[in-house]
Amino acid sequence: MIDLPFPELAVGQKKVSRGRTMTETDVVNFCMLTGNWLELHSNIEFAKHTLYGQRLVQGSLVFSIVNALLPFDPSVVEAFYGVDKLRFLRPTFINDTLYATSEIIRLKERGEKHGVATSLLCGINQRDETVMSCEFSLLIRKARLVAGHRKTQQGPNA
C-alpha cells in the first residue's frame, strides 16, 4: 500500500492489487480463530433462508484480507494508525475473488520523523462491485529505516 517515505507521497497516488479468492477454508479457519460461528457464515442450511440465500464471508475477514493485498514496505511503515468510515457495501461470498484499490486522500505531518498517510481503501470483487471501503491510515517514516549491520560469527578460531 505504502512503499515510499512520507516526503515522497502525494495525494492522488493509486495502487491496485492482485486478486485473492475467498475460500471455504478461509471462512472455517476464521471461524476457528475468532470463535465467530454465526450461522450466516457457518451453516449452509440456515444461510439458504437469509437475505442472500447463501453463506457470507465475515466482514472482518474481508477487511483483513483486503488491507493485506497491497504490500507494505517495512522500511517506511512505522505502524497501523487507524481506520475510519469502514463500510461493507455488498456481501462477499465464498469463491468471490477480491482485489484491493488504494488512493492516498490525505497526508498530515506527525512530528519530525513521521507523517500520517490516509488512503481510501476499497475491496472490489470479480463483478467489479465495491464490497468494502474505508479510510485506512498508516504512520509513515520520513526516511527509510536502515537495518543495523549484524556481526557474523566466523567460528571458534576467529
The string of DSSP letters for 77-126 reads EEEEEEEEEEEE-S--BTT-EEEEEEEEEEEEEETTTEEEEEEEEEEEET
**Inside any domain, residue 60:** yes
**pLDDT reported for residue 147:** 73
Report yes or no on 149 lying in a domain. Answer: no
d(CA 125, CA 130): 7
Please give the tally of structural domains in the chain.
Answer: 1
pLDDT in tens, 29-70: 999 999 999 999 999 999 999 999 999 999 999 999 999 999
pLDDT of residue 55: 97
Give the pairing type, strands 20-21 and 77-88: unpaired
Residue 92 lies in a domain: yes
Give the chain's residues under pLDDT 50: 149-153, 155, 158
- pLDDT score at 158: 47
Q: Does 155 reside within a domain? A: no
**Does any domain span residue 148?**
no
**Structural domain range at position 37:** 6-141
Q: Residue 152 has what pLDDT?
A: 46
Residue 117 lies in a domain: yes
Which CATH number fits the domain that encloses residue 37?
3.10.129.10
1 is a domain residue: no
pLDDT at 157: 52
Q: What is the pLDDT of residue 1?
A: 81
Asked, for residue 147, whether it belongs to a domain, the answer is no
